[in-house]
């Protein structure tokens, strides 16, 4: 197929020619980029940087002298972001809580001010985890109850820590693993690869197919012959912004380099700028498998 | 709807007028060839009534008892006056002789546009098509059609048709009444229609009569030549990329005739010595060959059984083939191995139609058609590795094929009923059985005897599409005419039943002797979709049906137009239209043609389209200099809930301004020239204009996102081009020879084919690049006819 495409391209070169044309855009001025996903209970951290037009080939600069402030949904000031290093800013002394709305406002000399708003959803707890050993895989059925009053978005992590102990040296080796999803709710509403691949370390989905009822999510992982296997199940209740950004960005990355793929617009909730300001509330449970 | 039914019913009462009347009916033919003169005018000046010959040249005119002077006329033919005594029904077949130079008088033979209820409709004279300059001298009816207002070409050099903001799938392209699904040769640069085989082309952009259905944007009705009933004739040409030959003549004089035409390109044959030379110079272990060709064959036989019965058989067969083969040899463990690989694309159409014309009575004419249409596309590649001398027992052998296509079997019966000169009633029924083959993959792998053979991808889908229609084209008063009708179509797929009642209405208000105001409304349904993510009409585009999850397309179009005949053969017409299209499909964000693991239904979004605009056509139809100036001002947008954040975005071929200037001038019988100039606002494309850092992922890896502000957010530079052609004719003992010289893109405008960010040759600066396809291209063509 590659040869066919190559010859097609070659054929078109028989006549084709190319030239530079000016990029006609009234203004492709740099904009402020805000990137930060925070969890309820953890310090809020964001990275601030600048965008450039697509012809720019250098490293995209971080903003180190920007002014960034944190507000709640009623515009009450909560704290200043303080620059730490490499464009990373944090709000010292403030821990976000679940069920709140947060707004960030950023200004930097020579750039248009930007703002972004998100909310920390309420924590949703896993009600049960059932395991079933198949031939070479362990299957997990994770259940939780969805809140019917709101549209919820979830991210589910299933982190397996496999530990080997070297009998001679006593050294400990471990690694984490991805998992497979066999859940329809994921493929219908989540960040399924466009090619149908359903594996990864984090899967996102909305409650569109089970709103207000009990969700049953099934996942599988390979079984290892190890000294110890511990699986951490994390159920993140994520903001809509986080969900939309993650799904679109994931799709964007998957299709890079495919000239036949349709363009993907990566979601942003930053007004007058780019990036994502999102949040989640996490529930975590640990299972000792062996 | 009630209004239409009421009007139809009330008008039928007119049929029962109590007066002794008789009918004169028959066929109007060309005296030289015996072929039907489609659209010939039959007129009784004393009564100011007339009729128009249908697609088969049949007319029927019911008049009061008595003696009438009847005038038969057709553009380019000498009119003929006949005294007809009507004291019984009269069967009268008439042959019209050719006229000399096209004069103003002769154009009266043509149906006056302002006297007809037809709007948004154009007939393309084949003489005009053949006299205009075209790319590489390859005469093409579709390329000429693209010069009309409201019809866009799409990409540079393409034979794609985008009518009033519709997609390429929304055109019902009929060859002798049979739908053609992929009308492209050479990746869309030429259409499949060989001009030598074509008799008549009619294009309908709106105000669709009820007889047409199945597509929502246009009808392109192409009729093949029937074949000369009198004597053998031929036409042919030798051009830069192809040669063609057409023969037609009687099998039994005045009873049975045939027409056969064939065309083939020879790029592959011309390229062979160069490829051989390149391989000879190549000191490496690899040899590569490749080529491309297309051919097509049109054939038709028509047989007059008797005055009341006639049958036609027509067929088209065309194929495109692109292939690459390579051989590579290497030595491993003192053994020589050969690796042979091959790849290619091929696609083509086959159509057949068997038609039977039957005249039940002087007032009732019927045409019954059985037809078959098949389009298939195949791409594939394969590789064989074998040890020297052991080709029959290869070490490895694998192949991958991707097949798609659509096959139709159909039949229909259409009746034309002429109760009196004020009414022409048409009605009929039809059925099409579709088989869709959307994207089937075949993979075979043989490794030292271990064989894998799998088939995966889209499943075949079968569907029935059947319809009925009735329409009446009638005079309400001396100054008001109407064409009212209804088309009822049905579609059954996977136990899902769809139907659509589609009212059609067109009114013509004669303002005075030379001008009229027309209005029309059409509701159209289309049960097929074309799944495409390319811009040049590649054969990879998939025809897919409406299914239980993907609804059928619906189009509603309103149009109002004004037309006026001016002095000295000039005519001006203007039309404004508004079209809404529902249930259009587009690939989802990120979806790709190469995504074979998902069923196509999971890869698409469903949305809407809107198009509105104004078209102006100023024509000069007589004299030595003829042609037209067309201008279109239009807006075309799309809206999909899950694309572009739900916001409206411009269609790729949204183009604010389109201008075409088409002029032919006949200096004398030996020399004529054709000049074409076109201008169009640049197409809309999707370009990421900004880049920014993405959020670090779990592994603290940060990537860059190129930000797309909106779908089709960027305009390509405008498109314009001048083509000039000269035809030099020479009379020979055996017929006529013509040398045609052409210049495509005479002032060498670099028009945009596509844009991309990248690097120019010998430069390390990243820029926005415009890739253009066709610079100034001269052409030369020798043609002959006898």
Q: Does A274 sit within 8 Å of B705, measured CB to CB? A: yes
Coil vs helix vs strand at B82: strand
Overall CATH class of domain A126-250+280-288: mainly beta
Instruction: State the complex-level ipTM.
Output: 0.88
Q: What is the pLDDT of residues B273-301, one digit of tens each?
A: 888 888 787 777 788 888 888 999 999 99
Q: What is the pLDDT of residues B559-591, one digit of tens each?
A: 999 999 998 889 999 999 999 999 999 988 888
Distance CA B105, CA B74 (A): 11
Identify the weakest region by mean pLDDT among B34-38, B220-224, B246-250.
B34-38
Structure tokens given for A264 = 């993907």
The pLDDT of residue B424 is 92
Q: Does B689 sit within 8 Å of A4, measured CB to CB? A: no
Cβ-based burial of A286 (10 A; exposed 0-12, middle 13-18, buried ≥19): exposed
The pLDDT of residue A27 is 62
Domain ranges of chain A: 32-119, 126-250+280-288
Max mean pLDDT range (A130-134, A174-178, B441-445): A130-134
Give contacts of B 474-513 with A, CB under 8 A. Answer: none
Fill in the DSSP letter of residue B79.
-
- Which residues 6+ apart lie within 8 Å of A273 measured at CB? A31, A32, A33, A34, A51, A106, A112, A114, A116
Residues of B in contact with A54 (CB under 8 A): 688-691, 706, 757, 766
Q: What is the pLDDT of residues B14-30, one digit of tens each?
A: 444 456 888 889 999 88
The minimum CA-CA distance between A168 and chain B, rounded to whole Å, is 32
The pLDDT of residue A9 is 46
Which one is the CATH code of A32-119: 1.10.3470, 1.10.10, 1.20.120, 2.60.40?
2.60.40
The pLDDT of residue A95 is 94
User: Over 70: is that where the pLDDT of B315 sits?
Assistant: yes
The pLDDT of residue B540 is 66
Q: Give mean pLDDT, residues B76-90.
A: 87
The pLDDT of residue B101 is 47
Give contacts of B 161-190 with A, CB under 8 A. Answer: 187
Q: Give mean pLDDT, residues B591-613.
A: 81
Q: How many A-B residue pairs are in contact by the CB < 8 A criterion? A: 182
The pLDDT of residue B359 is 92
Q: Give mean pLDDT, residues B603-625.
A: 93
- Out of B686, B696, B753, the one facing A16 most closely (by C-beta) is B753
Phi-psi group of B511: left, alpha or beta (phi > 0 → left; psi -120 to 50 → alpha; rest → beta): alpha
Neighbours of A109 (CB within 10 A): 8
Identify the residue whose tokens are 């008063």.
B477
Neighbours of A240 (CB within 10 A): 18
Neighbours of B670 (CB within 10 A): 12
Identify the residue whose tokens are 């000239």.
A259
Q: Does A21 sit within 8 Å of B770, measured CB to CB? A: yes
Residues of B in contact with A266 (CB under 8 A): 694, 705, 707-708
- Which residues 6+ apart lie within 8 Å of B1 measured at CB? B486, B501, B503
pLDDT above 70 covers a percentage of chain B that reads: 91
Q: Does A35 sit within 8 Å of B770, measured CB to CB? A: no
Coil vs helix vs strand at A244: helix
Q: Please count the residues of chain B.
A: 786
Same fold, A32-119 and A126-250+280-288: yes
Q: Does B694 sit within 8 Å of A255, measured CB to CB? A: no
Q: How confident is the model at residue B760 (pLDDT cuts 50, 70, 90)?
A: confident
Give contacts of B 621-660 with A, CB under 8 A. Answer: 644-645
User: Over 60: is that where the pLDDT of B8 sits?
Assistant: no
The pLDDT of residue B511 is 92
The pLDDT of residue A4 is 46
Identify the weakest region by mean pLDDT among A50-54, A189-193, B493-497, B670-674.
A189-193
Identify the residue with better confidence: B458 or B410: B410
The pLDDT of residue A199 is 66
User: Over 80: is that where the pLDDT of B459 sits?
Assistant: no
The minimum CA-CA distance between B149 and chain A, rounded to whole Å, is 28
CA dihedral B441, B447, B452, B453 (to 10 degrees): 50
Q: What is the pLDDT of residues B89-134, one digit of tens each?
A: 888 888 888 876 444 444 444 556 667 888 889 888 887 788 887 7
Q: Does A8 sit within 8 Å of B187, measured CB to CB? A: yes
Q: Does A265 sit within 8 Å of B710, measured CB to CB? A: yes
Q: Give mean pLDDT, residues B599-615.
A: 91
Distance CA A24, CA B716 (A): 9
Domains contained in chain B, CATH given: 2-111 (2.60.40.1120), 121-682+717-785 (2.40.170.20)
Max mean pLDDT range (A270-274, B38-42, B400-404): A270-274
Please, are residues A53 and B690 in contact by the beta-carbon 8 Å criterion? yes
Distance CA B716, CA B467 (A): 42
Q: How confident is the model at residue B593 (pLDDT cuts 50, 70, 90)?
A: low
The pLDDT of residue B428 is 97
Residues of A in contact with B187 (CB under 8 A): 8
- Out of B592, B714, B717, the one facing A261 most closely (by C-beta) is B592
Q: What is the pLDDT of residues B475-508, one digit of tens each?
A: 998 899 999 999 999 999 988 999 999 999 999 9
Identify the residue with better confidence: A184 or B656: B656
Cβ-based burial of A87 (10 A; exposed 0-12, middle 13-18, buried ≥19): buried
Residue of B nearest to A255 (CA): B590
- Out of A16, A49, A254, the one facing B772 most closely (by C-beta) is A16
Q: Does A258 sit within 8 Å of B592, measured CB to CB? A: yes
Q: What is the pLDDT of residues B426-436, one digit of tens each?
A: 999 999 999 99
Identify the residue with better confidence: B26 or A223: B26
Q: Give mean pLDDT, residues A145-173.
A: 83
- Which residues 6+ apart lie within 8 Å of B764 measured at CB? none
Residues of B in contact with A31 (CB under 8 A): 690, 692
Q: Does B774 sit within 8 Å of A53, measured CB to CB? A: no
The pLDDT of residue B720 is 94
- Out of A1, A51, A265, the one facing B691 most closely (by C-beta) is A51
The pLDDT of residue B696 is 75
């Amino acid at each position: 197929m590659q040869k066919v495409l190559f010859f097609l391209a070659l054929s078109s070169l028989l006549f084709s020619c190319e030239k530079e044309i000016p990029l006609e855009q009234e203004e492709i001025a740099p904009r402020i980029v805000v990137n930060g996903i925070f969890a309820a209970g953890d310090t809020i951290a964001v990275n601030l940087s600048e965008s450039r037009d697509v012809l720019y080939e250098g490293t995209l600069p971080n903003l180190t002298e920007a002014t960034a402030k944190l507000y709640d949904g009623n515009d009450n000031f909560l704290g200043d972001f303080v620059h730490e290093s490499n464009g990373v800013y944090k709000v010292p002394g403030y821990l976000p809580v679940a069920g709140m709305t947060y707004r960030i406002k950023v200004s930097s000399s020579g750039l248009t001010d930007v703002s972004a708003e998100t909310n920390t959803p309420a924590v949703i707890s896993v009600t049960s985890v059932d395991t079933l050993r198949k031939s070479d895989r362990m299957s997990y059925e994770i259940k939780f109850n969805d809140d019917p009053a709101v549209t919820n978005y979830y991210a589910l992590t299933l982190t397996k820590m496999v530990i080997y102990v070297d009998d001679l040296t006593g050294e400990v080796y471990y690694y984490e693993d991805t998992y497979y999803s066999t859940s329809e709710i994921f493929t219908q509403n989540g960040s399924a690869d466009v090619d149908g691949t359903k594996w990864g370390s984090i899967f996102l989905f909305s409650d569109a197919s089970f709103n207000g009822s009990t969700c049953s999510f099934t996942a599988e992982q390979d079984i290892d012959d190890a000294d110890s296997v511990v699986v951490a199940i994390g159920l993140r209740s994520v903001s809509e912004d986080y969900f939309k950004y993650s799904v679109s960005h994931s799709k964007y990355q998957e299709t890079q380099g495919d000239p036949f793929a349709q363009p993907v617009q990566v979601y942003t909730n930053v007004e007058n700028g780019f990036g994502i300001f999102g949040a989640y509330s996490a529930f975590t449970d640990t299972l000792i498998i062996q | 709807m009630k209004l239409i039914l009421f009007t139809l019913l009330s008008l039928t009462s007119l049929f029962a007028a109590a007066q002794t009347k008789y009918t004169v009916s028959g066929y109007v033919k060309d005296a030289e060839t015996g072929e039907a003169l489609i659209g010939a005018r039959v007129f009784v000046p004393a009564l100011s009534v007339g009729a128009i010959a249908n697609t088969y040249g049949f007319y029927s005119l019911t008049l009061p008892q008595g003696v009438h002077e009847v005038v038969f006329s057709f553009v380019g033919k000498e009119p003929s006056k006949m005294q007809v005594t009507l004291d019984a029904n009269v069967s009268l077949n008439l042959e019209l002789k050719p006229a000399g130079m096209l004069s103003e008088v002769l154009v009266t033979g043509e149906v006056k546009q302002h006297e007809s209820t037809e709007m948004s409709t154009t007939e393309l004279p084949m003489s005009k098509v053949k006299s205009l300059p075209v790319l590489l001298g390859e005469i093409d009816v579709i390329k000429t059609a693209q010069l009309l207002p409201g019809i866009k070409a799409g990409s540079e050099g393409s034979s794609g048709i985008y009518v009033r903001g519709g997609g390429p799938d929304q055109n019902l392209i009929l060859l002798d009444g049979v739908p053609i699904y992929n009308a492209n040769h050479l990746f869309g640069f030429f259409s499949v229609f060989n001009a030598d085989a074509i008799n008549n082309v009619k294009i309908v952009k709106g105000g669709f009569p009820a007889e047409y259905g199945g597509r929502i944007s246009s009808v392109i009705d192409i009729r093949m030549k029937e074949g000369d009933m009198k004597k053998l004739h031929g036409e042919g040409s030798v051009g830069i990329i192809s040669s063609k030959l057409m023969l037609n003549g009687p099998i039994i004089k005045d009873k049975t005739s045939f027409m056969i035409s064939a065309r083939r390109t020879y790029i592959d044959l011309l390229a062979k010595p160069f490829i051989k030379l390149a391989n000879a110079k190549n000191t490496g272990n690899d040899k590569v060959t490749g080529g491309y060709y297309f051919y097509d064959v049109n054939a038709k036989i028509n047989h007059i059984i008797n005055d009341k019965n006639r049958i036609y058989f027509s067929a088209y067969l065309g194929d495109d083939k692109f292939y690459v083969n390579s051989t590579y040899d290497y030595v491993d463990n003192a053994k020589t191995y050969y690796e042979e690989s091959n790849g290619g694309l091929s696609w083509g159409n086959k159509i057949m139609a068997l038609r039977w014309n039957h005249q039940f009575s002087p007032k009732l004419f019927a045409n019954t058609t059985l037809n078959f249409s098949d389009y298939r596309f195949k791409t594939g590649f394969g590789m064989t590795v074998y040890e020297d001398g052991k080709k029959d027992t290869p070490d490895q052998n694998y192949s991958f094929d991707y097949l798609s296509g659509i096959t139709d079997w159909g039949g229909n019966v259409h009746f034309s009923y002429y109760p009196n000169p004020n009414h022409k009633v048409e009605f009929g029924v039809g059925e099409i059985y579709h088989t869709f083959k959307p994207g089937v993959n075949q993979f075979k792998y043989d490794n030292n005897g271990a064989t894998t053979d799998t088939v995966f991808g889209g499943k075949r889908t079968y569907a029935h599409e059947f319809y009925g229609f009735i329409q009446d084209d009638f005079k309400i008063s001396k100054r008001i005419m109407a064409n009212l009708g209804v088309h009822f179509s049905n579609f059954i797929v996977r136990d899902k039943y769809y139907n659509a009642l589609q009212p059609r209405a067109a009114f013509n208000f004669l303002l005075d002797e030379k001008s009229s105001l027309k209005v029309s409304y059409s509701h159209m349904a289309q049960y097929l979709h074309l799944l495409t993510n390319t811009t040049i009409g590649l054969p990879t585009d998939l025809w897919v049906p409406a299914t239980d999850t993907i609804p059928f397309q619906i189009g509603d179009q309103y149009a109002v137009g004004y037309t006026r005949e001016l002095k000295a053969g000039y005519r001006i017409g203007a039309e404004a239209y508004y079209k809404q299209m529902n249930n259009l499909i587009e690939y989802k964000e990120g979806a790709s043609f190469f995504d074979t693991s998902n069923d196509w239904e999971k890869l698409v979004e469903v949305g809407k389209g809107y198009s509105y605009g104004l078209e102006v056509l100023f024509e000069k139809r007589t004299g030595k200099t003829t042609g037209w100036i067309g201008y279109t001002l239009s807006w075309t947008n799309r809206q999909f809930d899950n694309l572009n954040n739900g916001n409206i975005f411009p269609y790729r071929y949204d183009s604010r301004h389109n201008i075409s200037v088409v002029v032919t001038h006949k200096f004398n019988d030996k020399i004529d020239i054709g000049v074409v100039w076109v201008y169009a606002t640049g197409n809309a494309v999707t370009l990421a204009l900004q880049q920014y850092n993405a959020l670090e992922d779990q592994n603290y890896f940060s990537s860059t996102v190129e930000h797309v502000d909106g779908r089709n957010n960027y305009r390509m530079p405008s498109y314009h081009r001048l083509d000039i052609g000269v035809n030099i004719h020479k009379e020979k003992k055996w017929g006529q020879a013509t040398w045609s010289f052409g210049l495509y893109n005479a002032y060498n405008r670099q028009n945009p084919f596509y844009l991309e960010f990248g690097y120019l040759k010998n430069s390390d600066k990243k820029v926005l690049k415009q890739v253009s396809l066709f610079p100034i291209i001269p052409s030369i063509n020798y043609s002959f006819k006898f």
